Amino acid sequence: MKKPVGAARQLPKNAASAAPAPADKRQFAHVVKPKKTPPARKPRERWGADVIVDLLHHYGLPFAALNPGASYRGLHDSIVNYGGNEPLMMLCQHEETAVQVAHGYAKASGRPMVAILHNLVGLLHANMAVYYAYIDRAPIFIIGATGPMDETKRRPKIDWIHSAQTQGAAVRDYTKWDYQPTTVDGVPEAFARAYSVMMTEPRGPVYMCYDAWLQEQKLSHAVALPPKGYQRVPSPLAADPAALALAAKALAAAKRPVILAEYLGRDPAGFHALVTLAETLGAPVYDLNQRLNFPGCHPLNLSMSKDMFRDADLVLCLDVRDWERPTTELASTTRELVSLVPKHCKWIDIGFGDLNISAWAMDYQRLLYADQRIVADTLLAIPALTALMQQHARDDAAFAARAVRRAGATARKHHALRAKWAAQALLESDASPITLPRLASEVWQQIKTEDWVLSAGTLEEWTLKLWDFDQPYRHPGKSLGTATQFGLSLGVALAHRDAGRLVVNMQPDGDLMFDAGALWVAAKHRIPMLVVMYNNRAYFNDWEHQIRMAKHRGTPVDRAYIGMDLDDPAPDFATLARSMGWYAEGPIDQPGDVAGALQRAIARVKAGQPALLDTITQKR
């Protein structure tokens, strides 16, 4: 078994000061002083790739994350010189990171950015990140390259092995659309369609592949862009008024309605609209946290407590795919599911239904046999439904009184939950390694007076239990699988950089080990963020599965760690971060040392430097 974690590494002598100390100037200077770049020089002639740059400008795409590749050397030169480095190129060490940065930026801002992938091999490198962006409904404009498809223009070997017939087929099952224009005159129409498809709800990534020779050829004539008056994205999908009226009637009659929300908070308007609807109904809300859908400290928030479903007589699903996880109990070892919802309970589903459903991946989840299914954009449907419920409250005194009583009962449950979590956070709070609730509490005490954002991970939901998520931008939604959180967090921090917000990433160690080189991206591109490591020196989610198997089969539990621990040697994340231009301290395993380290790190972040604290935590 693993050895106990040793004492925290001694801090440098200047660590007691919150301000950057003189001894650290050499490390800090190259981060905050950008390298002087030679001026752009527009070429005398125009080239095929210039048309792509014209379109990037026309649609206002601000950043392009990329890993270099010769297949788009024509586009690269056009962006740098003809386009004046707009969109701003962001160099990444891996194609997955490039897509994840765009993914996080889209989640946090609601706006798309570009990821550029080098021919076939770059596309294959990025596959998992593209898939996660697809199932998370993130609009990313992915640009690829191939060929030349004209065989006479191909370089020996390399252009052959790096090209594919119908290259977009590699990601076709998990992008909303892909296309490869055959002539430069086909580029604007395809670009316009791709942008519209990407931004039409439910949103998602698109892939545009440009032939290398098309990019590098001289333009012999002007290529027209889409007209200025063109409506780039169609209007959102409204609900059938008769269907909404039927749903309102059912909600007015319900004694114990519950609201379930998943992607509603993709737009701040959805966050605020849900508050009004929930208060009109006096109904509890369960937030699935794919986006921040509802204020964490609102008295109607009963997220992370499934008890409300046990006697529910109506469940209202708002832009939900994963209706099953919160409404069932799972015996993980035997995979047995038991529903918590009474059989007589009615279900109303408002969202995108079977739109954009995949024929390949099963991200659509188990089918919900809802009593009423309304296909509509919830950003339009919820205000319309709320207006109907407000009319019911004016016309039906009994309904209005029930709503008030429900709201009071729900508020008492909410406050009891918050009090319970606060008490749990004090248990073993002086333990070493640091408990997760103690770490969440320490970070909260230092950031609560700041304009803060939590990037992706929730520290096993302890941040959701102890922090006050009072604004829709506080959290763009949880991370997805392993190897996604750090890249997403970079994009989130980029989205909030100009607003000067303090972006905090509670970063698992296993996740960062997948792409530790991405630390350099934050320093290179001046993306200040605070990383607090959730370092349990293990892939413990999988370790827990092995513990369950061992108990189920009667095999030794103390052998479950084999192939799961990140120890012997333990990665030194602080040294790694410092080597890439970050301010860093650690490892820190004493809870009393966290507050001071946070103060020093936050001071660095406010000065423009990313900062990392390697905190050693308990497994759970």
Mean pLDDT (the chain, rounded): 90
Query: For the segment 108-150, what is each residue's pLDDT rounded down to a tens digit?
Result: 999 999 999 999 899 999 999 999 999 999 999 999 999 887 8
Q: String of b and e for 545-555 (b: at least 16 CB within 10 Å)?
A: ebbbeeeeeee
- With pLDDT > 70 as the criterion, what percentage of the chain qualifies? 94
Distance, CA of 225 to CA of 281 (rounded, Å): 49
How many whole angstroms separate alpha carbon 357 and alpha carbon 194?
A: 18
Contact (CB, 8 A) for 384 and 232: no
In order, the DSSP letters of 271-311 are HHHHHHHHHHHT--EEE--SS--S-TT-TTB-TT-GGGGTT
Residue-wise pLDDT tens digits, 322-352: 999 999 988 878 888 899 999 999 999 999 9
**In which residue ranges of the chain is CATH 3.40.50.970 found?**
13-31+427-615, 48-216
- The pLDDT assigned to 35 comes to 67
Beta bridge partners of 209: 144
Q: Are 115 and 488 in contact (CB under 8 A)?
A: no
Does residue 309 or residue 11 have the better pLDDT?
Answer: 309
Residue 364 has what pLDDT? 82
pLDDT value at residue 28: 36
Q: pLDDT digit string (tens) for 553-604?
A: 989 888 877 877 767 788 899 999 999 999 999 999 999 999 999 999 999 9
Q: What is the pLDDT of residue 33?
A: 53
Is the confidence at residue 479, as pLDDT, over 90? no
13-31+427-615 domain in CATH 3.40.50.970? yes
**Domain 48-216: homologous superfamily in CATH:** Thiamin diphosphate (ThDP)-binding fold, Pyr/PP domains (3.40.50.970)
Q: E strand or H helix at 330, and its extent? A: strand 328-331
How would residue 237 be classed by pLDDT, with cut points 50, 70 and 90? Answer: very high
Listed in order, strand segments (DSSP E) in 353-474 are 372-375, 452-454
Q: Cα–Cα distances in Å, from 125 out to 96, 97, 130, 396, 593? A: 6, 10, 10, 59, 40
Superfamily of domain 241-420: TPP-binding domain (3.40.50.1220)
| Residue 482 or residue 97, greater confidence | 97
Q: Residue 331: helix, strand or coil by DSSP?
A: strand
Determine the average pLDDT of the residues in 317-324: 95
Quick check: 210 pLDDT over 50? yes
| pLDDT tens digits along 435-456 | 999 999 999 999 999 999 999 9
User: Would you say residue 22 has pLDDT above 70?
Assistant: no
Q: Which tens digit of pLDDT belongs to each residue from 360-388?
A: 888 888 889 999 999 999 999 999 999 99
List where CATH 3.40.50.1220 sits in the chain: 241-420
Is residue 192 within 8 Å of 226, Cβ to Cβ? Answer: yes
pLDDT at 64 over 90: yes
Mean pLDDT of 163-173: 90
